[in-house]
Amino acid sequence: MTKVTSIRQLRLACSAEEPEDFFISLGLARSSKSIMLTEDGHFDIVNEIDDTQQVLTAGELFTHSNIGQAIANGAFYAY
């Protein structure tokens, strides 16, 4: 398990051809996600709790998801 501390670190972790697994720590619970980069540099996110999908820019991680805030708060991890 590795704490993700920046969007740059997230981008590097997602540069593989297969989706990478991440989670937001919610104390005793987790919000699991699979994330990969698209060809145009967007983040393709699958929210495991309800199987919804989002395709977001780095800026939208802060406005259209809770990933940006989780990174800023030290609660976002890769595993």
Q: Rounded to whole angstroms, how far apart are CA atoms 9 and 14?
A: 9
Q: In this predicted model, what pLDDT tens digit does every residue of 17-46 receive, in sequence order? A: 778 999 999 999 999 999 999 999 999 999
Is residue 34 within 8 A of residue 48, CB to CB? The reply is yes
How high is the mean pLDDT of the chain?
95
pLDDT at position 17: 76
The pTM of the whole model exceeds 0.85: yes
What residues contact residue 73 under an 8 Å CB cut-off, 6+ apart? none
